[in-house]
């Protein structure tokens, strides 16, 4: 029966350790919760701002390109591809 008592004592000790750890984790989450949330919000704002800036820069860079110019580039690429295929 000594083994049964020993196992029961170890089980109780383990349960107490788990309860203490659970309390520590809950306290840590409460303490860090607002900090983590703040960091996530800041990161989201930074990504949104960067996306907006990139979008504006792309519009500015592509603003001078007309549809006719795009057509010429596509036609030149198609002719180059066709000539390349024909010469192989």
Closest CA to 49 of 41, 38, 59, 61: 41
Question: pLDDT tens digits for 10-52?
Answer: 888 888 888 888 888 878 777 777 777 777 778 778 777 877 7
Question: pLDDT tens digits for 48-71?
Answer: 787 778 777 777 766 666 666 777
- CA dihedral for 55, 58, 77, 84, sign (positive or negative): negative
């Amino acid at each position: 029966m000594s083994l049964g008592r020993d196992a029961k004592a170890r089980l109780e000790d383990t349960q107490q350790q788990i309860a203490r750890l659970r309390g520590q984790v809950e306290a840590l989450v409460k303490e860090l919760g607002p900090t983590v949330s703040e960091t996530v919000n800041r990161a989201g704002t930074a990504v949104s701002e960067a996306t907006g800036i990139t979008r504006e820069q792309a519009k500015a860079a592509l603003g001078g390109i007309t549809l006719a110019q795009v057509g010429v580039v596509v036609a030149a690429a198609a002719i180059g591809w066709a000539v390349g295929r024909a010469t192989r």
